């Protein structure tokens, strides 16, 4: 079946009224999640995961993915109207978006952000449609050594791209991998670190860890007294940008879409990194860079397009290879597995309705989000008026329900609380919890493929260097490590150091 | 001067050593047939290495005394209330536990007026119960009272 026929099959699934409804629900929840500071897409997806148990695979994945890319749209609203990033990826939009709002151009900034997001999101899905199936076909050649090399490359790439230091990221990834070894060893049946707790025999779930670290951890680190909200109400009559603003936005949207999609393919917090990179690129290419920080249209159009394209790009390795590039795609993979659909290269051929239905739903979802985020912006602004003292108890309640309902296990909820406290401490000491979640997710696959590789080669570890694909992937690992070591040796600030500084508050990415 | 990364690196290296100590009975196996202990021991060793590396390079981090703990009492209160709610969740069920959790957090911790706090807690719990049980067909924990 060709791409066009497959896509038509996808649309026949995605345009069913009930699938459309769940896509809309996901987009709506995603927008609200994006609008609200402190609740990320990961918490939103994790919390709503149990609510999808009664649905079929396509509907549940369509809804959960809608939350993810919907949150990228919603994040800009808070950034532009309050100078608070609803999402980490909206940090750069805060600068020029809020400056535009102060100049009375809030409506135009919101419109440019929404249209840029739509263009980038649709471009991303188009690329996903073209790239994912051939990549999946290529990945069918992968055996255990290739998967081992690919997973190691993923971790090293994540560490290299991270704005914190390489050892800190690898340390967190090791901790996640170690947590992933808890439970019964699937090859020998040994119990590992389960301390006679029956529930730990199945290992530690992704959901309690992710919700604890990102949901509860964020709440514990945010005292309600510190949350002060001053919302600029947009004038809906002024939603349309003028011709000059459209002209200034056009190229940044195009560049942001391409850059964001490419960055989205790589492991790590791609949607965050892409918006920082896009801001830096636009500033460098601008005829009047001094306007950045004072309401430059390109400072809104570029980053907002980039973060949306990146969130779509992240679906390529997830769908084609069954590999998560970050904690959000990891939870989406968990959702597929919970519904009995094994993710990986065989997904396209064995479950074409799920794969193509999901892809087609994203075309529709992006249109829905455009419709949601422009006329209804006033409604979403009202959500921001809920006092934080009322909002965070609500989130804690949903965290508990979300985690408990996955396995009806109270041990999982205790794990979430412990992880919440751990997340609080990690934030205090500047450690990023994302590599930990990624390590936890890939741990069983990495261990299994490593051991299978050694068994099939009768203990000959050079098997990783004897197979072309594995060798190429490992060569890339060494190259990245060498680059990181070189930058460390020179003691010079590279783009990653500048990104870290910008994330810490100084937003001058050049 | 003790720096933040001394504490972080030291604590995580100690965790790695603890895991190694706890892994005593897990067989490493051989290269041709790796045992259940190979991966955990390898990772625990890496944890020790990276922990020590961070501790060694700690001079780049802030002094430990500069880490602000102002929000700790609030965080501990919220965590304690959440812990109590988790402990009673299966016994008291969703409606009672979550109603109390919301009320205690809003009225007890955040010092908001009790009437709106109670109305918000009751309304949210009722709405969530209906949403999950009826709309999403995912029944929530019933508890001793049967709902």
Q: Point out which residues pair with A191 in neighbouring strands.
A: A184
- The first and second tokens of residue A355, run together, are 């794969």
User: Which H or E run contains B135?
Assistant: none
User: Which H or E run contains B142?
Assistant: none
Please answer whether residues A440 and A415 qualify as being in contact, where contact means their C-beta atoms are separated by less than 8 angstroms. no
User: Which H or E run contains A192?
Assistant: strand A191-192
* Residue numbers in B near A395 (CB within 8 A): none
* Chain A residue closest in CA terms to B3: A429
Please answer whether residues A452 and A145 qualify as being in contact, where contact means their C-beta atoms are separated by less than 8 angstroms. no
Instruction: Give Cβ neighbours of residue A396 (< 8 Å, ≥ 6 apart).
Output: A216, A219, B78, B82, B101, B105
> What's the helix, strand, coil split of chain B in %, to 5?
70, 5, 25
Antiparallel, parallel or unpaired: β A183-184 and A191-192: antiparallel
* Chain B residue closest in CA terms to A188: B36
A176 CA: distance to closest CA in chain B (Å): 10
Q: Which residues of A190-207 are buried (b: 16+ CB within 10 A; e: fewer)?
A: bbbbbeeeebbeebbbbb
B92 at A interface, C-beta within 8 A: no
Predicted confidence at residue A230, as pLDDT, reads: 62
Does B58 have pLDDT greater than 70? yes
C-alpha triplet A325, A124, A266: angle, nearest 5°: 25
* Chain A residue closest in CA terms to B129: A401
* Residue numbers in B near A169 (CB within 8 A): none
Phi and psi angles of residue A363, each rounded to the nearest 5 degrees, phi first: -60, -45
| Minimal Cβ distance to A170: which of B31, B50, B137 | B50
- Residue A268 CA to residue A274 CA, distance in Å, equals 11
CA dihedral A71, A72, A74, A79 (to 10 degrees): 130
- Residue A366 CA to residue A388 CA, distance in Å, equals 29
Please answer whether residues B25 and A159 qualify as being in contact, where contact means their C-beta atoms are separated by less than 8 angstroms. no
| Minimal Cβ distance to A181: which of B40, B54, B85 | B40
Tens-digit pLDDT string for chain A (510 aa): 677 788 888 888 888 998 899 889 888 888 888 877 666 777 778 777 777 777 888 888 888 888 888 887 777 887 787 776 666 677 788 888 888 888 888 888 888 988 898 899 889 888 888 888 888 888 878 889 998 998 888 788 777 766 567 888 889 999 999 999 999 998 888 899 988 888 888 889 887 888 888 778 878 887 766 665 666 666 666 677 888 889 999 999 999 999 889 888 876 666 777 887 788 888 888 888 888 888 899 999 999 899 888 888 888 888 888 878 777 888 888 788 888 888 778 888 888 888 888 888 888 888 888 888 777 777 776 776 778 888 889 889 988 887 887 788 899 999 999 999 999 999 888 888 878 887 887 888 899 999 999 999 998 989 999 999 899 999 999 998 888 888 767 665 555 555 555 555 444 333
DSSP, residue by residue, B60-88 = GSPBGGGS--TTHHHHHHHHHHHHHHHHH
- Residue A258 CA to residue A261 CA, distance in Å, equals 5
- Burial class of residue A44, CB neighbours in 10 A (0-12, 13-18, 19+): buried
| Minimal Cβ distance to A455: which of B7, B12, B32 | B32
Phi and psi angles of residue A500, each rounded to the nearest 5 degrees, phi first: -60, -40
Query: CB A245: neighbour CB atoms within 10 A?
Result: 19
* CA dihedral (A473, A474, A478, A481) positive or negative: positive
Predicted confidence at residue A288, as pLDDT, reads: 84
Q: Do B39 and A447 touch (CB under 8 A)?
A: yes
Picking from A216, A266, A257, A256, the residue whose alpha carbon sits closest to that of residue A396 is A216
A454 CA: distance to closest CA in chain B (Å): 6
User: Which H or E run contains A385?
Assistant: none
What 8-state DSSP symbol labels residue A191?
A: E
A390 CA: distance to closest CA in chain B (Å): 6
Which of B79, B88, B131 to mutate against chain A (most A CBs within 10 Å)? B79
Predicted confidence at residue A506, as pLDDT, reads: 42
What 8-state DSSP symbol labels residue A213?
A: I
Q: Do B71 and A181 touch (CB under 8 A)?
A: no
pLDDT band at B123 (very low <50, low <70, confident <90, very high): very high
- Residue B29 CA to residue B8 CA, distance in Å, equals 32
Which residue has tokens 């769908």? A319
Predicted confidence at residue A328, as pLDDT, reads: 80
Chain B stretch 13-42, residues whose beta carbon is closer than 8 A to a beta carbon of chain A? 15, 19, 22-23, 26-27, 30-40
* Residue numbers in A near B141 (CB within 8 A): 404, 408
Per-residue pLDDT, averaged over B106-135, amounts to: 90
- Residue A160 CA to residue A377 CA, distance in Å, equals 38
B146 CA: distance to closest CA in chain A (Å): 17
- The first and second tokens of residue B99, run together, are 């109603």
Q: Point out which residues pair with B63 in neighbouring strands.
A: B3
Predicted confidence at residue B141, as pLDDT, reads: 85
- Residue A377 CA to residue A410 CA, distance in Å, equals 39
DSSP E strand stretches across A305-385 = none
Predicted confidence at residue A214, as pLDDT, reads: 77
* Residue numbers in B near A224 (CB within 8 A): 74, 110
ipTM: 0.94
* Chain A residue closest in CA terms to B45: A174
Compute the count of residue pairs across chains A and B with CB atoms less than 8 Å apart. 161
Per-residue pLDDT, averaged over B59-84, amounts to: 91
Q: Do B47 and A175 touch (CB under 8 A)?
A: yes
- Residue A34 CA to residue A46 CA, distance in Å, equals 15
A294 CA: distance to closest CA in chain B (Å): 32
pTM of the model: 0.79
Predicted confidence at residue A507, as pLDDT, reads: 41
- The first and second tokens of residue A364, run together, are 């529709």
Query: CB A270: neighbour CB atoms within 10 A?
Result: 30
- The first and second tokens of residue B144, run together, are 């001793």
Please answer whether residues A172 and A436 qualify as being in contact, where contact means their C-beta atoms are separated by less than 8 angstroms. yes
C-alpha triplet A330, A476, A257: angle, nearest 5°: 55
> What's the helix, strand, coil split of chain A in %, to 5?
75, 0, 25
- Residue A21 CA to residue A192 CA, distance in Å, equals 43
Tell me which of A84 and B87 has the higher pLDDT: B87
B11-41 pLDDT per residue, tens: 999 999 999 999 988 999 998 999 999 999 9
C-alpha triplet A121, A124, A127: angle, nearest 5°: 155
Q: Do A410 and B85 touch (CB under 8 A)?
A: no
CA distances from A204 to A34, A260, A393 (A): 28, 33, 25
* Residue numbers in B near A177 (CB within 8 A): 39, 43
Please answer whether residues B105 and B78 qualify as being in contact, where contact means their C-beta atoms are separated by less than 8 angstroms. yes
């Amino acid at each position: 079946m060709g791409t066009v026929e497959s896509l038509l099959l996808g649309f026949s699934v995605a345009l069913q009224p009930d699938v459309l409804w769940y896509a809309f629900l996901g987009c709506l929840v995603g927008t609200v999640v994006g609008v609200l500071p402190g609740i990320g897409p990961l918490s939103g997806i994790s919390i709503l995961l149990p609510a999808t148990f009664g649905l079929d695979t396509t509907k549940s994945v369509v809804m959960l993915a809608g939350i993810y890319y919907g949150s990228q749209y919603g994040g800009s609203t808070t950034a532009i109207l309050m100078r608070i990033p609803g999402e980490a990826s909206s940090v750069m939009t805060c600068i020029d978006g809020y400056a535009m709002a102060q100049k009375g151009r809030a409506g135009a900034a919101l419109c440019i952000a929404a249209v840029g997001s739509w263009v980038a999101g649709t471009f991303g899905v188009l690329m996903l449609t073209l790239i994912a199936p051939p990549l999946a076909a290529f990945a069918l050649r992968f055996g255990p050594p290739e998967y081992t090399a690919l997973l190691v490359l993923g971790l090293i790439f994540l560490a290299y791209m991270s704005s914190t230091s390489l050892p800190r990221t690898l340390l967190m990834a090791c901790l996640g991998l170690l947590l992933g070894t808890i439970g019964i060893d699937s090859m020998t049946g040994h119990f590992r670190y389960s301390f006679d707790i029956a529930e730990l025999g199945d290992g530690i779930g992704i959901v309690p860890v992710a919700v604890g670290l990102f949901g509860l951890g964020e709440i514990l680190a945010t005292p309600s007294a510190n949350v002060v909200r001053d919302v600029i109400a947009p004038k809906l009559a002024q939603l349309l940008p003028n011709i000059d603003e459209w002209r200034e936005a056009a190229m940044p949207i195009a560049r942001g879409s391409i850059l964001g999609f490419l960055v989205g393919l790589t492991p790590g917090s791609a949607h965050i990194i892409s918006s920082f990179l896009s801001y830096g690129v636009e500033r460098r290419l601008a005829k009047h860079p001094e306007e950045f920080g004072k309401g430059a249209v390109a400072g809104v159009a570029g980053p907002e397009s980039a973060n949306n394209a990146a969130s779509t790009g992240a679906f390529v390795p997830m769908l084609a290879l069954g590999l998560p590039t970050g904690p959000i795609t990891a939870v989406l993979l968990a959702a597929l597995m919970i519904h009995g659909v094994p993710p990986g290269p065989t997904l396209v051929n064995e479950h074409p309705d799920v794969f193509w239905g999901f892809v087609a739903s994203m075309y529709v979802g992006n249109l829905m989000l455009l419709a949601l985020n422009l006329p209804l912006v006033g409604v979403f602004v009202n959500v921001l008026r809920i006092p934080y003292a009322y909002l965070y108890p609500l989130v804690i309640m949903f965290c508990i329900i979300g985690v408990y309902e996955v396995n009806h296990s109270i041990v999982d909820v205790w794990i979430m609380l412990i992880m919440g406290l751990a997340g609080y401490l990690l934030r205090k000491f500047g450690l990023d919890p994302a590599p930990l979640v990624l390590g936890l997710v890939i741990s069983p696959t990495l261990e299994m493929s490593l051991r299978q590789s050694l068994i099939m080669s009768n203990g000959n570890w050079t098997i990783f260097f004897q197979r072309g694909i594995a060798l190429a992937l490992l060569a890339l690992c060494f190259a990245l490590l060498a680059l990181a070591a070189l930058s460390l040796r020179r003691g010079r600030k590279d783009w990653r150091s500048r990104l870290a500084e910008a994330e810490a508050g100084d937003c001058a990415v050049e | 001067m003790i720096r933040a990364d001394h504490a972080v690196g030291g604590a995580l290296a100690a965790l790695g050593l603890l895991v190694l100590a706890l892994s005593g009975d897990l067989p490493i196996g051989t290269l041709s047939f790796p045992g259940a202990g190979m991966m955990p021991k390898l990772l625990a060793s890496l944890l020790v290495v990276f922990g020590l590396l961070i501790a060694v390079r700690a001079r780049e981090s802030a002094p430990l005394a500069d880490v602000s703990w102002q929000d700790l009492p609030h965080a501990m209160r919220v965590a304690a209330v959440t812990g109590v709610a988790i402990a009673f969740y299966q016994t008291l069920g969703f409606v009672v536990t979550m109603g109390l959790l919301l009320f205690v957090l809003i009225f007890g911790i955040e010092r908001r007026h009790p009437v709106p706090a109670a109305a918000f807690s009751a309304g949210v719990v009722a709405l969530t119960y209906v949403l999950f049980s009826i709309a999403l067909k995912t029944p929530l924990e019933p508890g001793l009272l049967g709902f």
